[in-house]
Structure 1
Amino acid sequence: MDWSFVAPIATRISAIEFQELKEACKQFLWSMTVYPPQGRKRVSQSTVHARSSHLRVMIEWMATEGITRFAHIDAPAIEKLRGWLRTRSNTQNKPITPNTIAIYMTIVKDLYRQRTKLVDGILIDPLPDETPAEAAGLTNATQGTIPFIPDDIAIAILSEALRWVEEHGETILSADRIRVEARSRAQHCRDPGKPSRLARRALAEAGLVDPAGRLISGERPLQRALNHLVEACYLIIAGFVGMRVSEILSLQAGAIETRPIGETGVNQAYVIGRLYKAVDHPDGRIERWIAPFPVTRAVGILEYISEPLRILSNRGDLFLIKNHTQEVVVLTPAYIGWRINNFASAACLPLHEGKSWTFSTHQFRKTFARFIARHDRTQLLGLANHYKHASLAMTSRGYVGTDFDLSELIDEESRAETEVALERLLLSDRLAGKMGERIVAGNGQFRGRAGEQIRRDYVKFIMTETDLRIYACDYGWCVFQHETARCEGIAKPNEAKRAPDLCLSCNNMVIEDRHSSYWGDRRMRNEALLPNASPMLAAVLNEAIEQCDRVLSRIGS
């Protein structure tokens, strides 16, 4: 952190007093890292760095107001600071957001909470009747929530990232090897321009193209391709692992580890990073996340690209960059967020409601959680394996965990899915499954224009007054009721016992037209086995085919 800045031109305090304010800021930040308020974890290095910028703004304002010490700040000064913050603009020349003002109010509150540990702290409670968020004007109605990425946008950007990594990653790395080898041939040459000329010539002769079909004809196009490849690797880790941005940016060389799964003889790859949330130590805690193949490939690419900067800086991080002073540093969350949107612009993604979608790093984690919630069949396994709530085995116990952030996300999306499904089922006149047949028999009042308001009121009543949840799977919906669940699920369907045959005999099952492809495929697969089947197997196959026929007939397919 650079503390060499001086007091503003309009200052009303002396240089010595301004220096004392800077020293008070340093001591406050230090106290937050080694001795935070009771019940709070130590702040991370990135948070300390960000707060130093906010503190600089605060003490520059204090200097113009003639306030020489934090201890001199009183209630009128807090109101004046809050009003002044509302007049400030950000780098886009727009008023700063209430979220930013809330950060300043939190700092003010913490200067009061830490007062006994500081030489100079705020002595009176600056916000006795409201929280920092409330003081900044944030309410449940105004602050909103981080949105999940719409399905078509998420599929498009992750497909593009996969294309960069799996189809073109090796081509781009080959181009970089050609560049390095060409430059090495001129490393002892006195002509400073010869390495670049040799690199350009070698790349032109290789005739390699990037994913957009452009020729990688020089070092600048190659660097652009390498930058996009790093962004694609980040997107794959975020989209297919769901780690937080701090956890992804903590990845080091050698982050992939392979371990056997019990005594099965099968190996599973894991990505090793640092978990920071709810961990007291500022350096986090080493943890492992299941890594599908694209993620292991992405980490391998990052290891190759980051190697020169790792050697130069003697660091092990995978997300390294040179800053404006040519110092090698780890990418910040804000900068990787900007680069994600840069990648999206180059990828020409589909528009959402007529506009380009703006990505943030946390959206990928929320979208990952939404995927788990909507695809109930793998929900427990995903929670157990990925969020380390319990054993890695496929057991229903895996759903029980302590990641309340994820649980809230899943509950939110489960409610949304239930509401949409309930609306559709009340409109349908063709449903299969025992619950489906009951719904069709009694939902006449909800259909058509006449039943629209009745249906809307009924759905609203169900969602606000009951804990009903509808769980999805490939072959139907489960309108879950514990008392009648054949799978013996307690709070939701038991994934270990759930199967088409069992669900068809369960009072909770609903099947609609959208599931016809599953039942049609199941029928064809069983029918294909009939010619070579033994009599006993043929009886089983015919029974399965008859089940499919009954379902398809009920849903009109």
Structure 2
Amino acid sequence: MTTGRTNDNLNHFAAWVNRYCDSHGRHDALPAVSGRPFKLHTAQFRRTLAWFIARRPGGTIAGALQYRHHSIQVFEGYAGTSDSGFRAEVESEQALARGEHLLTVIDAHEHTRMAGPAAAEAARRLEEFEQRTRFQGTVVLDDRRLRRIMNRDDPAIYPGTYITCVHDSAKALCERARQGAFEGLGDHPQCQPLACRNVALTRENTDAWRGEIELVEQQLARRPPLPPLLQNRLLGRKQQIEDFLATTQELS
């Protein structure tokens, strides 16, 4: 679809919304500007897109590349300057989402079934977190209260695709202090999940690692075969993951 066609569709949709509001007596129609319908076009959504990119794991780096900015700081300024509180707001939203996820983990009792060197610490922190989020016998569901709890008593547990980081700066191999930089998986490039003592594994994390092993096996089974050097590297990677999974199960 061309940009012009997209712009036409945006304005057709806006007109439909206003007709719908008129016919149903609603008062939340799109307001006119200087007595005329506001004309939408795709360029107006660049910052909206930047906002959503920035909220994804590693989003500020991806956004800087996508928008061809010279630095991450320029992208952050584009998505919302530091004075506007953009970074703080993104980090607050990430913390809230993480808190909601941790409550789901607690509700399903997944924290009692974790494996890995930090599994016991994760269970202890989440049990304390559960106590802090209880109000008159029920777990808090209000976003504002959960946000306050995360600001005051963040358990510093960061769920990811491959690992759950139970952060302890004294043990962290990533050499990054807790500054809202943890976004899961090691979703930042300095994460060393196969060696770090801050790692705990949920069932989903273990399944993700097994999926990695399957991908390696598929590559090794390719015909014609891969070059010997690449085969050796893949075999080494597969062995590393298998040893890692075996070790984490022994520690659980």
TM-score by length of 1: 0.29
- Which residue does 2:97 correspond to in 1? 417
CA shift, 1:515, in A, is 3.2
CA shift, 1:385, in A, is 3.9
CA shift, 1:474, in A, is 2.8
Q: Cα 1:363–1:506, aligned 2, differ >3 Å: closer, same or farther?
A: farther
Is 1:486 aligned with 2:182? no
CA shift, 1:435, in A, is 2.8
Q: Cα 1:453–1:437, aligned 2, differ >3 Å: closer, same or farther?
A: closer
- Which residue does 1:540 correspond to in 2? 236
CA shift, 1:409, in A, is 4.0
Is 1:497 aligned with 2:189? yes
- Which residue does 1:513 correspond to in 2? 203
Indicate conservation of the 8 Å contact 1:434/1:504, yes or no. Answer: no
Indicate conservation of the 8 Å contact 1:487/1:498, yes or no. Answer: yes
Larger Rg: 1
- Which residue does 1:435 correspond to in 2? 118
Indicate conservation of the 8 Å contact 1:433/1:509, yes or no. Answer: yes
- Per-residue Cα deviation, 1:195-231 (whole angstroms, up to 9, x for no partner): xxxxxxxxxxxxxxxxxxxxxxxxxxxxxxxxxxxxx
Greater relative contact order: 1 or 2 (C-alpha under 8 angstroms, separation 6 or more)? 2
CA shift, 1:546, in A, is 0.7
Q: 1:467 & 1:299 partners in 2: Cα distance?
A: 44
Q: Cα 1:552–1:478, aligned 2, differ >3 Å: closer, same or farther?
A: closer
- Which residue does 1:391 correspond to in 2? 70
Indicate conservation of the 8 Å contact 1:431/1:512, yes or no. Answer: yes
Indicate conservation of the 8 Å contact 2:160/2:187, yes or no. Answer: no
Q: 2:29 & 2:249 partners in 1: Cα distance?
A: 44
Aligned residue identity for 1:381: I
Indicate conservation of the 8 Å contact 1:434/1:508, yes or no. Answer: yes
Is 1:299 aligned with 2:3? yes
Indicate conservation of the 8 Å contact 2:216/2:234, yes or no. Answer: no
Runs ≥4 residues deviating over 6 A: 340-343, 358-368
Q: 1:452 & 1:468 partners in 2: Cα distance?
A: 10
Is 1:525 aligned with 2:208? no
- Per-residue Cα deviation, 1:322-367 (whole angstroms, up to 9, x for no partner): xxxxxxxxx6xxx864546989xxxxxxxxxxxxxx9989999779
Q: 1:384 & 1:474 partners in 2: Cα distance?
A: 23
Q: Cα 1:320–1:511, aligned 2, differ >3 Å: closer, same or farther?
A: closer
Q: Cα 1:430–1:514, aligned 2, differ >3 Å: closer, same or farther?
A: same
Aligned residue identity for 2:115: A
Aligned residue identity for 1:422: L
Is 1:550 aligned with 2:233? no
CA shift, 1:525, in A, is 1.3
TM-score by length of 2: 0.54
CA shift, 1:410, in A, is 1.4
Q: 2:156 & 2:125 partners in 1: Cα distance?
A: 18
Alignment of 1:212-361 (within 5 A): 297-299=1-3, 301-302=5-6, 337=14, 339=16
Q: Cα 1:424–1:548, aligned 2, differ >3 Å: closer, same or farther?
A: farther
CA shift, 1:414, in A, is 0.8
Aligned residue identity for 1:528: Q
Q: 1:438 & 1:417 partners in 2: Cα distance?
A: 21
- Per-residue Cα deviation, 1:340-397 (whole angstroms, up to 9, x for no partner): 6989xxxxxxxxxxxxxx9989999779745643x42x32224434577x526xx7x6
Indicate conservation of the 8 Å contact 1:523/1:544, yes or no. Answer: no
5+ residue gaps, structure 2: 21-27, 31-39, 141-145
CA shift, 1:521, in A, is 1.4
Q: 1:477 & 1:399 partners in 2: Cα distance?
A: 28
CA shift, 1:476, in A, is 2.9
5+ residue gaps, structure 1: 1-296, 303-317, 322-330, 344-357
Q: 2:161 & 2:190 partners in 1: Cα distance?
A: 12
SS of the equivalent of 1:478 reads: strand
- Per-residue Cα deviation, 1:423-451 (whole angstroms, up to 9, x for no partner): 245532122343334223x369x39xxx9
Superposition CA RMSD, Å: 5.0
Alignment of 1:19-418 (within 5 A): 297-299=1-3, 301-302=5-6, 337=14, 339=16, 369=51, 372-373=54-55, 375-376=56-57, 378-385=58-65, 391=70, 401=77, 402=81, 404=84, 406-418=86-98
Q: Cα 1:482–1:368, aligned 2, differ >3 Å: closer, same or farther?
A: farther
CA shift, 1:419, in A, is 0.9
